[in-house]
Amino acid sequence: MDGVPNLTQAPVKPNGEFLYDFVAPDSGTYWYHSHDRSLEQVARGLYGALIVEEKNPPKVDHDIIVFIDDWRLNAQGKQEGDFDNLHDQVHSGRMGNFAKALFRGNNAPIKQNQRIRLRLINVATDRIFPIALTGISGKIVAYDGMPLSTTEPLKKLIISPAQRVDIIADVSSNKEISVLYSEENNIKIGSLAIEGKAKKSKLPIPILEPNKMISPNISQATNLDMVMEGGAMSGKISMQDVNNGKAWMFNGVAGIHKKPFHQFKKNQTAVIDLINDTRFPHAIHLHGHHFQILNKQGELSPWRDTTLVESGESQKIACVFNNPGKWLFHCHMLGHQASGMKTWVKVV
């Protein structure tokens, strides 16, 4: 039920249908989107939020989804049709020239001092969003759907495509909550108006109830390397490769092949070194699992399902492959994915 065409199912034909039937074991903020020609279909809006409620949800006055997206618009305000732009694909991907935060909540007026939950989802095809929020005072409570065991201070956020950040906060402003694109100049990409005043909550910002996760035992892990290669200025691709959708590679291989990147036995733990040997950052996303980033001191980060690896950086991710099936493992910059930066793993 993972929806990856030609890996776990055939694409759903025009006027066709497919019944997705699955159990959602983990509470949190997720999203769904087309995985077929996703660089165009996601850009055109074929996505949505998938919220799995906690058994005991935290008490908030407003629970608001914040989609963060960008679009490439022409002078008439229509989307440009150049979704397959190869020049974009070998660089940072297809960036929009218009960005906005879209809110989905219960539309009731938000009052000063009320407690809100914001579920930020970067649904843009390629853009990494540096985000700052004003008008609230609170904590980060989850990343990529997974509750944090200790909340983190609300700071400037770097949200790569597909990543999610959950925030619980109290409204401090009496005017508005702003979402700022926080690079050099703070550009406001969305805001929520404040109307009226409520009584201040004396309760601390809560910790969300944890999902059942298996922590990786690093000493027993299988060690693997995943080297990102290709793209512009790498010297590793030709114009012919680019034209054939082979602009990017993992370990020298572009695109999906019969053989998976690796076949894991159920519950096998692996540490995969994500080595970015390209001139661009990549948002590496693993389907069906969450992983933790292992730092040099041997400490494990909060759970993630997408991690941003900067150019020249390497990041070790630790994962217990406990979910049987075929799972895509790819860059979530959809222009990169479309031009080769994808592979898959098998868990048996």
Residues that bind Cu ion (CB under 5 A): 282, 331, 333, 336
Identify whether the C-beta of residue 272 lies closer than 8 Å to the C-beta of residue 226. yes
Q: Which is nearer to Cu ion, 208 or 331 (CB)?
A: 331
Q: Which is nearer to Cu ion, 191 or 234 (CB)?
A: 234
Q: Which is nearer to Cu ion, 139 or 282 (CB)?
A: 282
Strands 268-276 and 222-230: parallel
Q: Which is nearer to Cu ion, 162 or 221 (CB)?
A: 162
CB of 150 to Cu ion, least distance (A): 31
Q: State the amino acid at position 140 in one-letter form.
A: I
DSSP assignment of 82-102 equals -TT-HHHHHTT----SEEEEE
Strand partners, 246: none
Q: Which is nearer to Cu ion, 164 or 330 (CB)?
A: 330
Q: Taking the CA atoms of 319, 4, 212 and 115 in sequence, report the sign of the dihedral they define.
A: positive
Q: How far is CA 284 from CA 59, 76, 281, 292, 305, in A?
A: 33, 34, 9, 13, 8
Q: How many CA atoms lie less than 13 Å away from 15 in the CB half-sphere?
A: 0
Q: Which is nearer to Cu ion, 39 or 205 (CB)?
A: 39
Q: Which is nearer to Cu ion, 39 or 333 (CB)?
A: 333
CB of 161 to Cu ion, least distance (A): 9
CB of 248 to Cu ion, least distance (A): 7
Q: What is the dihedral angle through the alpha carbons of 322, 323, 328, 331, rounded to the nearest 10 degrees?
A: -50
What does the radius of gyration of the chain's CA atoms come to, in whole angstroms?
20
Identify whether the C-beta of residue 194 lies closer than 8 Å to the C-beta of residue 173. yes
CB of 139 to Cu ion, least distance (A): 30
What is the rounded CA–CA span in Å between residue 98 and residue 268?
44
CB of 295 to Cu ion, least distance (A): 22
CB of 35 to Cu ion, least distance (A): 16
CB of 83 to Cu ion, least distance (A): 16
What is the rounded CA–CA span in Å between residue 96 and residue 133?
21
